């Protein structure tokens, strides 16, 4: 958690291909550090609850920016490999 927080604080923006269950925590870090976030996952109820905090902080959070089903993850792995 601390390592990810430190990484987020240094970023100009975050593109998360982490599992959807981790995006709320990443989004909270991004809001805290005023870092824009893009995820490939659908908007969960938990993410929706962060909408006003993100707006108040002036932080764009863009969800559902991937390709279905899982093509975004497969493409990312090709780049990583």
Residue of 51, 68, 72, 81 marked active site:
68
3-state helix, strand, coil in the chain (%, to 5): 55, 10, 35
Q: Is 68 a catalytic residue?
A: yes
In 3D space, the residue among 19, 28, 20 whose CA is nearest the CA of residue 9 turns out to be: 28
DSSP code for 66: S
Active site residues: 68
């Amino acid at each position: 958690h601390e390592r990810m927080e430190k990484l987020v604080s240094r970023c100009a923006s975050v593109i998360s291909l982490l599992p959807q269950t981790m995006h709320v925590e990443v989004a909270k870090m991004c809001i805290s550090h005023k870092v824009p976030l893009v995820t490939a996952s659908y908007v969960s109820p938990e993410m929706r609850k962060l909408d006003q905090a993100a707006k108040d902080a002036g932080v764009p959070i863009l969800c559902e920016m991937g390709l279905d089903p899982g093509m975004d993850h497969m493409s990312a792995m090709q780049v990583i490999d």
